[in-house]
Amino acid sequence: MRVALINPKFRLPIDTRTSPHLGLAYLGAVSERRGDEVRVYDADIEDQPLAEFLHEFKPHLVGITANTPQVKQAWRTAATVKRELDIPIVLGGPHVSVVTEDLDFESLRQPPVDLVVRGEGEGPWIEISNRVDAFLRDQPHFSAQALMAPDLDLFRDVKSVSYKTGDGQLHRNPDGPVIADLDSLPWPAYHLFKMERYTNLQPATDAVPGERSFSILTSRGCPYRCTFCSQSIMPIKWRARSPENVIEEWRHLVRDLGALEIGVLDDSANIRRNRLMRLADDLIANKLNHVPWIFVNGIRANLADLELLTRLKQAGLKRTAFGVETGDEQMIIKIDKHVDHNTIRQAFKNAKAAGIETIGFFIIGLPGDTRETMQKTIDFAIELDPMIANFSMMTPYPGTIVYEQVKQGGRFLVQDWEDYVFFDQKARYEMGDLTAELMEEMYRKAYRQFYWRPKYIMRAISRKDFWLNFSRNVRLAWRTIVPRKEKTELRRAIEAAA
């Protein structure tokens, strides 16, 4: 069977870089293992029109990924697919997985969407493929409508799937189990991507071309539930691959694919200290530690002792992020971060003592924030002095506790899902005294106060990477003074392209 996996176009209103979609790379890998012929169409880097791609490849099944700001573009993409070919269309990804807000049904109400996969996709995707394939064998000239016929009800027992039968009825099957043995998964199928068209993962090592920059996932899930974090995909159950399994993939990335940097995308890689120690030892023993790697997504500060970080540094860890979020002692309790400021201070000290570069993630405009607490966040960022401070505008994603708080006591300023980006200068909600004006003022102030310090500037210009990316860095610095173009312009551009 021929299956196409699509990443709908959604470039952020910032100078973002592109990287292959790891979720689609996993889905492509399990489809290939099933015996399918697979193609990935990533609209962010593709120059072939979608309709042409579809007629050339003639897929029997299409899967489209969607996070929240991407979902409308996913619907438009689905409409294009259905216009060209009468084949089943499956949506998956973080947005459509939020059942508390019926977001699976929201997508199924779009005429071209037939099925939605909620949460981790590999299992249900293969189960859907098996059924479509079996149907196809009986009816080689099948239509999506025949496949979704209510009397057939072909997908009634596929776990973690929501679907629409031909009579327009929406169905939601129960959740399936999470993948218990991550070692059973194949490696992400990077060969399905036009790697030379990508840049690298933000904010990873600069100036490494996309075809030499790779991501890896050594664990899935996170046992914490911070109030602002969108955790619709990965369940609370944290699971890890064995060090042996990770090392095999790492070796493949370095030796076979020539990786010059590796971004570890785990939500919380350091939940089990001994596992990371083992991984570090194995990277050293297997002489894989010459390629720098980065914890892109942050590790838990309460589990980052000096001994562990020193070993990780020896194993090639170049840079790590920590989710700090707020500089206010009360706010950090309110957001269920389960870490205190002294622990965070110590984690940054440990990382620096181990010679590891640091990234701090901070949020401006958490519910309950005031001018004073947001100033404390800026001051704390300056005190911690990471190499990169990433201030995000609080964006209440559906399915999070913050979303509920805003629904109950605030006012959303977002007009539609396409506004759900947080590296923008626009406030996404207001609540009590926390006005949009105040959030936007503090957001700009955060970037100005952190980045326009003589100490920071001196350190930045002494780095080789800074000069390699000079024009990009100047552009970013300029944007801390001059506001970016309006989001509506971006939306118009996307719609025009669609």
Q: Which residues bind ligand SF4 (CB under 6 A)?
A: 222, 224-226, 229, 231, 267-268, 323
Q: Which does 36 bind (CB under 5 to 8 A by kind): ligand SF4, ligand B12, none?
A: none
Nearest-approach distance from CB 409 to ligand SF4, in angstroms: 22
Residue 229 binding ligand B12, by CB under 6 A: yes
Q: Where does this chain touch ligand B12 (CB under 6 A) — which range of 13-21, 320-328, 478-486, 490-498?
A: 13-21
Instruction: Give the span between the Cα atoms of 43 and 11, in whole angstroms.
Output: 10
Instruction: Give the span between the Cα atoms of 8 and 44, in whole angstroms.
Output: 7
Show contacts with ligand B12 in window 256-285 (CB under 6 A). 265, 267
- Do residues 218 and 405 make contact, with C-beta atoms less than 8 angstroms apart? no
Residue 68 binding ligand B12, by CB under 6 A: yes
| CB nearer to ligand B12: pick between 362 and 376 | 362
Instruction: Give the span between the Cα atoms of 278 and 242, in whole angstroms.
Output: 9
Q: Which residues touch 278 (CB under 8 Å, ≥6 apart)?
A: 243
Instruction: Give the span between the Cα atoms of 114 and 125, in whole angstroms.
Output: 13
Neighbours of 54 (CB within 10 A): 21
| CB nearer to ligand B12: pick between 266 and 376 | 266
Nearest-approach distance from CB 280 to ligand B12, in angstroms: 21
| CB nearer to ligand SF4: pick between 267 and 419 | 267
Instruction: Give the span between the Cα atoms of 98 and 367, in whole angstroms.
Output: 21
Cα distance between the two ends of the chain = 28
Tokens coding 52:
């042409």
Tokens coding 406:
């805003």
Residue 22 binding ligand B12, by CB under 6 A: yes
Instruction: Give the span between the Cα atoms of 385 and 358, in whole angstroms.
Output: 8
According to CB under 6 A, which one of 10, 75, 163, 361 is a site residue for ligand B12? 10
According to CB under 6 A, which one of 45, 53, 70, 365 is a site residue for ligand B12? 70
Residue 99 binding ligand B12, by CB under 6 A: no
Q: Provide Rg for the chain, Cα atoms.
A: 23
Show contacts with ligand B12 in window 359-398 (CB under 6 A). 397
Neighbours of 277 (CB within 10 A): 16
Show contacts with ligand B12 in window 319-358 (CB under 6 A). none
Q: Where does this chain touch ligand B12 (CB under 6 A) — which range of 32-40, 65-73, 354-362, 448-456?
A: 65-73
| CB nearer to ligand SF4: pick between 155 and 397 | 397
Element (H or E) spanning 438, and its range? helix 436-451
SS3 481: coil
Residue 117 binding ligand B12, by CB under 6 A: yes
Q: Which does 270 bind (CB under 5 to 8 A by kind): ligand SF4, ligand B12, none?
A: none
Nearest-approach distance from CB 380 to ligand SF4, in angstroms: 17
Instruction: Give the span between the Cα atoms of 253 and 247, in whole angstroms.
Output: 10
- Do residues 246 and 218 make contact, with C-beta atoms less than 8 angstroms apart? yes
Q: Which does 354 bind (CB under 5 to 8 A by kind): ligand B12, ligand SF4, none?
A: none
Q: Which does 224 bind (CB under 5 to 8 A by kind): ligand SF4, ligand B12, none?
A: ligand SF4
- Longest CA pairwise span in the chain (Å): 71
Residues in touch with ligand B12 (CB under 6 A): 10, 12, 16, 19, 21-23, 26-27, 63-65, 67-70, 90, 92-95, 117, 120-122, 125, 202, 217, 229-234, 265, 267, 297, 397, 421-423
